Amino acid sequence: MVNKIAVLGSLNVDTTLSVQRMPEPGETLAVSKKKQAAGGKGANQAIAAARSQAETMFIGQVGQDEAGQMMIQALKDDGVDVSHIYEDSAVATGSATILLDANGQNEILVFGGANQNITGKTLNLSGLAGQDFLITQFETPQPAALAAFKQAKADGVLTILNPAPAHEILPELLPLTDLIVPNETESALLTGIEVTDLDSMQANAAAFKKMGIPNTIITVGSRGAFFATANHTGFMPAFKVHAKDTTAAGDTFIGALASQLDSDFSNIEAATQYAQRASSITVQRYGALPSIPTKDEIISANAEVR
């Protein structure tokens, strides 16, 4: 069975600047390499789902510019349905500048552009009916996410919220969320409970449940991912690899996860392991979209579990 996935999210042209280390305040450093590629959390998640053979639709917004056409074409190249992307004449396509150090860690500066200009008039939700999952993040306005999640519930579509970048969540969005997937920093910000060990992860999941969110996955970087549903709770260790670039690792995880997840979440452990394997491949490559693996690559990968 092929999952049908809609992604409401950001479309950014990414410029990656490679540096030996991150600069100190007021310091000037030389850039050893400069690359430009399609990206944005929404685009990354959609491509990850599509490359894992999910039937994927994108809902979003670009400017009427060359960058916007580049983003649309990048999605089309991976078979993503782009018919629900609005072209905005008032603002430029979103972009991101990524500082990447020699250890593969990054710092990212984002210009929201058209992503932040989505309104009720430009948000096209006509294709939600019939989808299995709707994914969104916070690189597009939360009111758009709220409208989309309301429509998803009306259409019987399960919702996945990636609360990144971390912000306070609109209270109305919480009971409309079927699965929340933060990293440890985002989870702690939202619950007030620092993520340090398995007990604190379970406490975070319990806090989310009180907020009205029944299912939780907390990603903790190179350590792995914690998952909690009504019937399954556990921790999936990360695969042991040498990371070159962590850009899009979390997005790859979410898109790959959604491509495999059953509607009753009964296979949460297997889907989490698949998503972890996908992310382990992404971090061994450079760039956002270019680093995301296909289903065949994920299945054939033979990484050692930590």
Return d(Cα 57, Cα 23) in angstroms, integer: 39
What's the confidence (pLDDT) of residue 21? Answer: 94
Instruction: Out of 81, 251, 262, 264, pick the active-site residue.
Output: 251
Confidence of residue 238 (pLDDT cuts 50, 70, 90): confident
Instruction: Look at residue 304 in the predicted model and tell me its pLDDT.
Output: 45
Q: What percent of the chain has pLDDT over 70?
A: 98
Backbone angles phi, psi at 129, to 5 degrees: -55, 130
Does 139 carry a binding-site annotation?
yes
Per-residue pLDDT of 3-22, as tens digits, reads 999 999 999 998 889 999 99
pLDDT in tens, 36-75: 888 899 999 999 999 999 999 999 999 999 999 999 999 9
Query: pTM for this one?
Result: 0.91
pLDDT band at 94 (very low <50, low <70, confident <90, very high): very high
Asked if the model's pLDDT at residue 303 lies above 60, the reply is no
pLDDT value, residue 112: 93
pLDDT in tens, 184-237: 999 999 999 999 999 999 999 999 999 999 999 999 988 999 999 988 999 999
Clarify whether 251 is annotated catalytic. yes
Is 220 annotated in a binding site? The answer is yes
Instruction: Give, in degrees to the nearest 5, the angle at Cα 286 between 27 and 140.
Output: 80
- Residue 306 known to bind ligand: no
Q: Kindly report each contact of residues 75-79 with a partner whose C-beta sits within 8 Å and lies 24 or more positions away, as own/partner.
A: 75/11, 75/38, 75/43, 75/46, 75/47, 78/47, 78/50, 78/51, 79/50
Percentage of the residues of the chain whose pLDDT score is greater than 90: 80
Mean pLDDT, the chain, rounded, equals 93
The residue ranges of every structural domain in the chain are 4-24+32-305
245 annotated to a ligand binding site: yes
Known binding residue 104? Answer is no
- 110 pLDDT band, cuts 50/70/90, is confident
pLDDT classification of 302: cutoffs 50, 70, 90: low
What's domain 4-24+32-305's superfamily in CATH? Ribokinase (3.40.1190.20)
